[in-house]
Structure 1
Amino acid sequence: MKSQDIRSKFLSFFESKNHNIVPSAPMVLKDDPTLMFVNAGMAPFKEYFLGNAEPKSKRITDSQKCLRVSGKHNDLEEVGYDTYHHTLFEMLGNWSFGDYFKKEAIAWAWELLTEVYGIDKDILYVTVFEGSDEDGLAKDTEAYDYWKEHIAEERILNGNKKDNFWEMGDQGPCGPCSEIHVDIRSEEEKAKIPGKDLINKDHPQVVEIWNLVFMQYNRKANGSLENLPEKHIDTGMGFERLCMVLQGVQSNYDTDVFTPIIREIETITNTVYGKNDKVDVAIRVIADHVRAVAFSIADGQLPSNNGAGYVIRRILRRAVRYGFTFLNKKEPFIYRLVEVLSSKMGTAFPELKTQKQLIENVIKEEEQSFLRTLDQGLVLLNRIVEETKGDTVSGEKAFELYDTYGFPIDLTALILSEKDLKLDEEGFDKELQKQKKRSRVASEVSTGDWTVLIDDSVQEFVGYDYLETNVKITRYRKVSSKKEGDMYQLVFNLTPFYPEGGGQVGDKGYLESAQGEVVYILDTKKENNVIIHFTKELPSHLNETFRAVVSNELRELSASNHTATHLLHQALRTILGDHVEQKGSLVKPDGLRFDFSHFSKVTPEQLIEIEDFVNARIEGKLPLVEHRNIPMEKALEEGAMALFGEKYGDTVRTIRFGQSIELCGGIHVKNTADIWHFKIVSEGAIAAGIRRIEAITNRAVKDFYLDNNKAYSEMKALLNNAKEPVKALQGLQNENADLKKQIEALLKDKAKDIKGTLKNELTTVNGVQFLAKQLDLDASGIKDVAFELGNEFDNLFLLLATVINGKALLSCYISKALVASNGLNAGQVVRELGKYIQGGGGGQPFFATAGGKNPEGIEEALKAAREYLT
């Protein structure tokens, strides 16, 4: 059975049980601070479990893209070394939100596996929660009794809290679970050890394929459990493992989910899978990781240096490293796998097809960048090896290479072993733990439990129509962090404060009590469908009615910039082409940032055209046409732009200004005239095929022109109030260029004169022409002198020094014949002598330079140079 059919049968089965099929949510989470990525099928539905929102259906089924590479659920380092762990995987799931519970979930799981898929009942085992004294929970006898109706009791096993009590994190929805395991070993192997003895023992052929979670508790910050308002079902079946079972193979990588990618890797790298363990691991790593990176980019998450982007970059670099080390690939090749991935999975996940070009470009550029890092790291590692005394490279040096330059530690260890050197692994681990501790301490956040004042789960946002209103605080909690200190999070029954979202920052403002007490709202965010307001202090009387007031000035400025992003998007698609898609934005009171797909630099002429396009619509005084809660399909029919990677409901809000119409939940001006003016301040690349425009509107534009006018007046004054300042400035530039040429000519003449003097100062040391001297020349002049003398002598050793802008410079020239015969190396010489001037440097064996901040050390360095010849 092909993987596409396996997925379809799952969804069709639960559709026949009155489940609504929903598409996979984007993997990158935007309103849940506890998670970077969807790491389980339930993550997109967390708000339903918490009672913060009503699902469109009580029964849902899907195949959800999941990523497990950080936090509690982290399988990254296991990927490639076994045959059943992955970074990205599909989780087939069925969900009940307060509808059916254990009986139906168990019966349908058994029916699907044994009757629809036809899996032999004799290879299946199930586990049930054995209870926990720590939490005061008894054994799940209810699940046990339901399982007895389908499977022999000797195949129902007790499972501990670690394996059979599912929790998403330290806080949140949780509950006991029943796992379904499969034993696909040979009959001979089964005769040696019973399958029940290998459950949850990390055996590659005795694996869990489905977890039925009975979600009925909420874990509080203090570790205690409370009942959820309703009982829910949350199941997750590993799609790749199910394919392994149904396709009769012994590894996930032998299924048709992975074999097309593996075949392509074999072709590109001229290797064979299944012949060499190290090669096999590398191929599995690359086959797995390219899926994770491709899906992440398609969902809108580009590799970067922080947050979720750093995780994606780390996954890709791990793949590059394995290709570099074990498949001998020194040039980009992983991007070439996107074609086969897109063709095989694009039907189920069309984003792979629509975003294919972007995915390929981003991966290729990241590969090129990291390969350059590896090349640089090899040079640095060779330098470390040269400086190492003995047979062990210090862990501190290896960690610096890893931490500062991103050079992988396992590659360092491999190269050192090839050079018969050892790595101080204990020292490296010590430095790594220090760094982790620093990072952990800096990012530690302690979140308390909610204190409920009013049992009101329905919260209304009124900020589209009102900037102030009377509110009641329904709940609050304290959050402490090293970075921010103590903060309080407040939830109101209704709120005019817009929460951060859609690129727009959250509103600020204040709460005012009837007695005149004021508490400032410093930020507003959304978490699991709840709008949360951040303050530094709590009001004195929490149960009062407060006046909630949004900062009108900041709101209007943000609205100007947000509307400008819509007009900018329209301008880019009109002027550059329909291929342009929004890839991210940031809307603040003082400006906007807009990221978009485009594969070449935007020309100055195009930027002017884009500005003119937006400003024409501002001058056109286009009114806002807003439609709230209209069906998604109707909005798309009307031409509304939907952003890929965003999560939309069945009903949406559309924002129209003239011909610009987009799905958007943000705050906008009532008329484009309110923007006043639009000005682009920068444009550039942020990734392969991704450009960024930064711009300003409204008051910021007025300030921009005032500042420019002031600078112009000051410049004109410096030019003696010339009537044509541009011509006057060009005249100064031409004059400066002429003077530079004259200075260069004088310096060359000076260098020639100095050369004649230096020839007379050469001394012979052990048959070598030697000179160490400080000169009054720039770096270029010293290099010219050194090479001029070098052309006349084939046994020359020069160390020349100078001081430039208060800093020391050492330049070493050694004739190539001496480099070959005497083993001298100019790069090594300046690195060692650089310590006298508190600096360092390097270069080629015959010419190298070192800079330092201590000119007083030049004399000692010149004296020490003679020692290389004695």
Structure 2
Amino acid sequence: MTSKEIRQEFLKFFETRKHQVVPSAPMVIKDDPTLMFTNAGMNQFKEFFLGNKTPKYSRVTDTQKCLRVSGKHNDLEEVGKDTYHHTMFEMLGNWSFGDYFKKEAIEWAWELLTEVYKINKDQLYVTVFEGEASDGLKMDQEAYDLWKQIVPEDRILMGNKNDNFWEMGEQGPCGPCSEIHVDIRSEEERQKVSGASLVNMDHPQVVEIWNLVFMEFNRKADGSLEKLPAQHVDTGMGFERLCMVLQGVQSNYDTDVFMPLIKQLEAGSGVKYGASEETDIAIRVISDHVRAVAFAIADGQLPSNTGAGYVIRRILRRAIRYGFTFLDKKEPFIYELVALLSDQMKEFFPEIGAQSQLVAKVIREEEAGFLRTLEQGLQLLDQIIANNEGDTVKGVKAFELYDTYGFPIDLTALILSERNMKLDEKGFHEELKKQKERSRAATKVETGDWTILDAEAGEEFLGYDTLQTPSRITRYRKVERKKGGTIYQMVLDRTPFYAEGGGQVGDQGYLEDVAGNKIPVSDTKRENNLIIHFSKSLPKDPAGELTAVVSRKKRLMTQANHTATHLLHQALRQVLGTHVEQKGSMVNSDGLRFDFSHFSKMTKEELAEVEKFVNDRISEKLPKVEKRAVGFQEAVDDGAIALFGEKYGDKVRTINFGESTELCGGTHVENTADIWYFIITSESAVAAGVRRIEAITGEKAMEYLNKRDTTLEEVTQVLKNPADPVKAVSNLQEENAALKKQVEVLLKEKAGNLKHDLKGKITNVNGINFLAEKVDLNQGGIKDLCFELGGEMDDLFLFFATEDNGKAMLSCYISKDLAAARGLNAGQIVRELGKYIQGGGGGQPFFATAGGKNPDGIPEALENVKTYIQA
């Protein structure tokens, strides 16, 4: 069977037994703080097991995308080294929510494996939970008795809590399980050694294929077990392992799940799978990891430096590193596998088909960025190793690579181990700890206890409806900041001040007492559900009556910018596509910043279209339609956009302007006309797959336009008031281009004369036409000179140094035939000699350059290259 047929047969088998076929849940979890990723098929049904929700169907079946790279279930470091561990894998499952239990689960599993898939019964073993005294659990006698009716007793094995009691994590639904293992060794091997002795012993050909979990308990926070409201069945069968068994191969990677990816990797790298263990591991790592990364991105998780995004970035960087080192891939290449992966998987997982272009471009950007880091880091690591005494690299050196250049510590350790060296990991972590302590010290504040003025008073936010209200201070405290002196923080019983949140800055304003004294409020933030007002001083009578007043001008400008982010979000989804998702924002009175998921730099035409879209909505004078205390699901069902990463309660607030509807707690204009005008000032990259737009509205937009008019007037005057300023500038550019060409001609003449002089200085050393010289040329001129001389002479070795603005540059050229015949490498040579100019570099074996900050080291570099050639 092909993998597609195997999937179809599984779902069809349970569909005929009254199971509802349901789609896979996203691999990236957005609404469960205990998990980053779906690590088992049961994750999406967790609430059903706990009895918190009622399932629509009592029996379901599916194939679920899973990722095991964090927490308790972490297979990352095993992937590639063996033939059956994976980061992302599919889990085939059938589920009963309070319906059937052990009998049906066991009988159907055996029927499917032996009668539908035709697996030899003599190759199968089953395990049963032996019990656990610490949990007060007895052996699963019921499962044992059921299996005894199907298989010989010598094929029923006892399993301990570690192997046969399934738990999702530290807390949650759990229960005893019965595993089915398959022995795919040859008949001869099976006769020599019983498969029973190899079950759960990490043998690559005696593997668990299906786990039947009988959900009976809930593990509480204190570690105790309580009975679930109902008994459930949760089964999970490794799809990739099943394909291995049914396709008669000895490795998951030899199935049609992975072989198309492996074949493309072979074609792209020129490395044959099976040629060596090192390259085989690399090919397995890449073909596995591209699946995990691609599906994570399709499910909404972009690579980043924190949280789930960092996990995805780490997986991808591990694949890049293996390709770089073992397949000699120095340019982005993993992204090229996405189209093939999409074709393979989109029938069952349409999200990968719909987003394959986005996925490929995000991966390509990540590859390009990390390859630059890797190249630079490897050069620096080479220097560290060359200058290291002994076989252990100090932690402080590894930390410098990590802290300054972003070179991953696990890669440093891996590279050192490949060179039979060690890393002082303890020293590294000590340096990391020091850095964290320095960071904490820089932001440390000494906060006094709250002075409570009214313990019974509540807190009411009125800022959606008014900018001024009578107030009293209910509590305050003094804060000593390391930088900035003393401030006071106050809580009011009623406040119009908006606390920082949702990307919008906190309000500023003042508190006025009955005598007319004003206490400036510099910021407003939220802490433990309290709205905190910041000020450098307290009112003379902290317990007295006050009037809280928000700065009207700043608030109006801020809410105009905030409303513009909603219209901008709508515009981007309209112009670029619905893959656009807000990834962050910052809104204040000066302007707005909006981060969003998109795979490429926006064109001028796209930016103009977005800008026009927003301004058209402003011109339409759309009124604000606000709904408060709406049910979350009701709001989403009505089309409101819920932003990724935001936490929403059961009741939410929706803001609507025309066709733009979002869940939002910020402040907004009453009508889009209040924004006045919208201007995009910049568009840039924030990270791979994340772009940033900065824009201004209202008064700032007017200032911008006025300044532009003034600038145009000044330029016109400088050009002596031409009738057509644009044509006048164009003429200047043409004149400038003509002058540049004249300069280039002069430089070429200079280089030609220099070439003639230098050619006469070339000497033969050990059969090599050699010259090392300091020259007065720019880098481009030196490169042209090298290749011109190289075209005129064989067996040529050139080493040139130049100095410019206090910096040194080394260039090395070696004829390709000479480099191959003598084992010479220009990149290695400039890296080594770069230490004399306090720099580094690299390049290709036949041409490479190095830059440094010490021109005084040039003579020593030239002398050493002469010595090198003479030797």
State the AA in 2 paired with 1:112.
W
Alignment root-mean-square deviation, CA: 6.9
Q: TM-score, structure 1 length as denominator?
A: 0.64
* 1:126-146 Cα shifts (integer Å, max 9, x gaps): 33263254xxx22x22x6133
Match of 2:444 in 1: none
Question: Where do 1:67-78 residues align within 5 Å?
Answer: 67-78=67-78
**Residue 180 (structure 1) shift:** 1.7
**CA distance, structure 1, for counterparts of residue 248 and residue 633 of structure 2:** 42
**Residue 216 (structure 1) shift:** 1.5
State the AA in 1 paired with 2:127.
V
**Residue 300 (structure 1) shift:** 2.1
Match of 1:163 in 2: 163
State the AA in 1 paired with 2:349.
F
Alignment partner for residue 420 of structure 2, among 422, 425, 447? 425
- Aligned CA distance change for structure 1 residues 59 and 614 (closer, same or farther; 3 Å): same
Determine helix, strand or coil for the equivalent of 2:691. Answer: strand
Contact 1:572 1:610 in 2 (8 A): yes
Match of 1:180 in 2: 179
* 1:701-721 Cα shifts (integer Å, max 9, x gaps): 645664786799799999999
Alignment partner for residue 112 of structure 1, among 105, 108, 112? 108
Bigger mean CA deviation after superposition, 287-296 or 253-262: 253-262
**CA distance, structure 2, for counterparts of residue 281 and residue 817 of structure 1:** 33
Match of 2:603 in 1: 603
**CA distance, structure 2, for counterparts of residue 551 and residue 43 of structure 1:** 46
**Residue 508 (structure 1) shift:** 7.1
**Residue 87 (structure 1) shift:** 1.4
Determine helix, strand or coil for the equivalent of 1:621. Answer: coil
Contact 2:92 2:239 in 1 (8 A): no
Question: Where do 1:544-559 residues align within 5 Å?
Answer: none
Match of 2:350 in 1: 350
Question: Where do 1:288-303 residues align within 5 Å?
Answer: 288-303=288-303
State the AA in 2 paired with 1:150.
L
- Aligned CA distance change for structure 1 residues 279 and 867 (closer, same or farther; 3 Å): closer
- Aligned CA distance change for structure 1 residues 117 and 466 (closer, same or farther; 3 Å): farther
Determine helix, strand or coil for the equivalent of 2:146. Answer: coil
Match of 2:657 in 1: 657
Identity %: 42
Contact 1:335 1:361 in 2 (8 A): yes
Question: Where do 1:9-20 residues align within 5 Å?
Answer: 9=12, 12=15, 16=19
Determine helix, strand or coil for the equivalent of 1:113. Answer: helix
Match of 1:540 in 2: none
**CA distance, structure 2, for counterparts of residue 166 and residue 499 of structure 1:** 45
Match of 2:680 in 1: 680
Alignment partner for residue 588 of structure 1, among 567, 586, 595? 586
Contact 1:587 1:593 in 2 (8 A): yes
**CA distance, structure 2, for counterparts of residue 69 and residue 621 of structure 1:** 50
Match of 2:623 in 1: 623
State the AA in 2 paired with 1:201.
M
- Aligned CA distance change for structure 1 residues 401 and 842 (closer, same or farther; 3 Å): farther
Match of 1:91 in 2: 91
Contact 2:839 2:851 in 1 (8 A): yes
The answer to whether structure 1 residue 146 and structure 2 residue 147 are counterparts is no
**Residue 348 (structure 1) shift:** 2.7
- Aligned CA distance change for structure 1 residues 365 and 869 (closer, same or farther; 3 Å): closer
State the AA in 1 paired with 2:85.
H
**CA distance, structure 1, for counterparts of residue 54 and residue 558 of structure 2:** 32
Question: Where do 1:269-418 residues align within 5 Å?
Answer: 284-304=284-304, 307-316=307-316, 318-319=318-319, 337-339=337-339, 341-363=341-363
Match of 1:8 in 2: 11
**CA distance, structure 1, for counterparts of residue 616 and residue 10 of structure 2:** 50
Determine helix, strand or coil for the equivalent of 1:85. Answer: coil
Determine helix, strand or coil for the equivalent of 1:607. Answer: helix
Bigger mean CA deviation after superposition, 391-400 or 29-38: 391-400
Contact 1:678 1:695 in 2 (8 A): no
**Residue 28 (structure 1) shift:** 1.8
State the AA in 1 paired with 2:182.
D
Q: TM-score, structure 2 length as denominator?
A: 0.64
Contact 2:716 2:725 in 1 (8 A): no
- Aligned CA distance change for structure 1 residues 811 and 393 (closer, same or farther; 3 Å): farther
- Aligned CA distance change for structure 1 residues 558 and 818 (closer, same or farther; 3 Å): same
Determine helix, strand or coil for the equivalent of 2:25. Answer: coil
**CA distance, structure 1, for counterparts of residue 192 and residue 462 of structure 2:** 68
State the AA in 2 paired with 1:183.
V
State the AA in 1 paired with 2:594.
R
Match of 1:238 in 2: 237
Question: Where do 1:426-465 residues align within 5 Å?
Answer: 426-427=421-422, 430=423, 435=428
Contact 1:132 1:161 in 2 (8 A): no
Question: Where do 1:801-812 residues align within 5 Å?
Answer: 804-808=804-808
Contact 2:504 2:666 in 1 (8 A): no
Determine helix, strand or coil for the equivalent of 2:140. Answer: helix
**CA distance, structure 1, for counterparts of residue 408 and residue 14 of structure 2:** 44
**CA distance, structure 1, for counterparts of residue 320 and residue 566 of structure 2:** 38
Match of 1:478 in 2: none
State the AA in 2 paired with 1:346.
K
State the AA in 1 paired with 2:198.
L
State the AA in 2 paired with 1:131.
E
The alignment of Structure 1 onto Structure 2 pairs a total of residues equal to: 769
- Aligned CA distance change for structure 1 residues 561 and 831 (closer, same or farther; 3 Å): same
* Higher RCO structure, 1 or 2 (CA under 8 Å, sep 6+): 1
Determine helix, strand or coil for the equivalent of 2:353. Answer: helix
Contact 1:562 1:666 in 2 (8 A): no
**Residue 333 (structure 1) shift:** 6.6
Question: Where do 1:227-266 residues align within 5 Å?
Answer: 233=232, 235-240=234-239, 243-244=242-243, 247=246, 249=248, 251-253=251-253, 257-258=257-258
State the AA in 2 paired with 1:107.
K
**Residue 681 (structure 1) shift:** 2.7
Contact 1:42 1:234 in 2 (8 A): no
The answer to whether structure 1 residue 125 and structure 2 residue 126 are counterparts is yes
**CA distance, structure 2, for counterparts of residue 439 and residue 805 of structure 1:** 36
Determine helix, strand or coil for the equivalent of 1:209. Answer: strand
Structure 2: any 5+ residue segments left out of the alignment? Answer: 440-459, 470-495, 509-520, 534-547
Determine helix, strand or coil for the equivalent of 1:295. Answer: helix
Match of 2:210 in 1: 209
**CA distance, structure 2, for counterparts of residue 182 and residue 213 of structure 1:** 20
Determine helix, strand or coil for the equivalent of 2:584. Answer: strand
**CA distance, structure 2, for counterparts of residue 116 and residue 746 of structure 1:** 80
**CA distance, structure 2, for counterparts of residue 618 and residue 30 of structure 1:** 34
**CA distance, structure 2, for counterparts of residue 736 and residue 633 of structure 1:** 65
**Residue 315 (structure 1) shift:** 3.7
Contact 1:29 1:35 in 2 (8 A): yes
- Aligned CA distance change for structure 1 residues 550 and 292 (closer, same or farther; 3 Å): farther
- Aligned CA distance change for structure 1 residues 341 and 827 (closer, same or farther; 3 Å): closer
The answer to whether structure 1 residue 219 and structure 2 residue 221 are counterparts is yes
- Aligned CA distance change for structure 1 residues 33 and 834 (closer, same or farther; 3 Å): same
**CA distance, structure 2, for counterparts of residue 144 and residue 816 of structure 1:** 71
State the AA in 2 paired with 1:178.
C
Contact 2:94 2:236 in 1 (8 A): no
**Residue 296 (structure 1) shift:** 1.7
Determine helix, strand or coil for the equivalent of 1:588. Answer: strand
**CA distance, structure 1, for counterparts of residue 828 and residue 269 of structure 2:** 37
Contact 1:216 1:232 in 2 (8 A): no
* 1:265-288 Cα shifts (integer Å, max 9, x gaps): 778889987898777656654543
**Residue 312 (structure 1) shift:** 3.3
**Residue 614 (structure 1) shift:** 0.4
**CA distance, structure 2, for counterparts of residue 816 and residue 349 of structure 1:** 49
Contact 1:325 1:411 in 2 (8 A): no
**CA distance, structure 2, for counterparts of residue 100 and residue 671 of structure 1:** 53
